[in-house]
Chain A
Amino acid sequence: NAGVTQTPKFQVLKTGQSMTLQCAQDMNHNSMYWYRQDPGMGLRLIYYSASEGTTDKGEVPNGYNVSRLNKREFSLRLESAAPSQTSVYFCAGGTGKPQHFGDGTRLSIL
């Protein structure tokens, strides 16, 4: 009963480093999502993939890229990390509603 699995759980980067956050789901969801959560704010959508082979920008896509590798996997890449990207990142999957979330990746950029 893994659901949505995110790796790593924690990461510290230096400004300018690159990093890929991994997400995999075993719930056969068509759609997958990447959000970031900052203190005192709700989740903000970075990118989503409505179905395998498609990706679209969300509310805050700048500085990020995504890859929908197959139906199970949806990765988020930071090409050149900036301190403003310090956040908790959540991946979610869903076919219609509701969405099922992973437990997040806590990313700090120094």
Chain B
Amino acid sequence: SQQGEEDPQALSIQEGENATMNCSYKTSINNLQWYRQNSGRGLVHLILIRSNEREKHSGRLRVTLDTSKKSSSLLITASRAADTASYFCATDASGGFKTIFGAGTRLFVKA
């Protein structure tokens, strides 16, 4: 069963707008990660947030984590056409080797 579930499944925005993607998970976690996948390529790690952190920034990316609601959000500000990709959240429970990935959000940024 999937641990992480992203919402929405697909998102289409104009260049320059902000994109927000949400992730919900079911069990306690050590950390939560966000990955990007361009068409035909492997996943690329974007950012990791630990269970004791509430917010983290990296460039145009902002990630929040609410462990009480078992949810996370990824905000991409001032989106660019090059941000067009699928975005996945991934969680690690205690033990750490079995990372569980959600089904992803497909983001399309129109130039």
- Are the CB atoms of A4 and B42 closer together than 8 Å? yes
> In this assembly, does A98 line the interface, its C-beta being within 8 Å of a C-beta of chain B?
yes
| Other 7 A-B pairs with CB < 8 A, given A96-B96, A99-B43 | A41-B103, A42-B90, A43-B101, A45-B99, A58-B98, A97-B92, A101-B44
> In this assembly, does B31 line the interface, its C-beta being within 8 Å of a C-beta of chain A?
yes
Shortest Cβ gap from B32 to chain A (Å)? 10
- Are the CB atoms of B98 and A45 closer together than 8 Å? yes
**What are the residues of chain B within 8 A of A4 when measuring CB–CB?**
42
Shortest Cβ gap from B10 to chain A (Å)? 11
Query: For residues 66 through 110 of chain A, which have their beta carbon under 8 Å from a beta carbon of chain B?
Result: 90, 92, 96-104
Shortest Cβ gap from A44 to chain B (Å)? 8
Taking a contact as CB atoms closer than 8 A, the residue among B33, B42, B97 that contacts A102 in the complex is B42
Q: What would be 18 A-B contacts, judged by CB atoms less than 8 Å apart?
A: A31-B97, A35-B101, A42-B4, A42-B90, A43-B43, A44-B101, A45-B98, A50-B97, A59-B98, A92-B42, A96-B96, A97-B92, A97-B96, A97-B99, A98-B48, A99-B99, A102-B42, A103-B42
Taking a contact as CB atoms closer than 8 A, the residue among B42, B88, B102, B104 that contacts A104 in the complex is B42
- Are the CB atoms of B44 and A42 closer together than 8 Å? no
Given contacts A56-B97, A103-B41, contact A97 B88 (CB under 8 A): no
**What are the residues of chain B within 8 A of A40 when measuring CB–CB?**
103
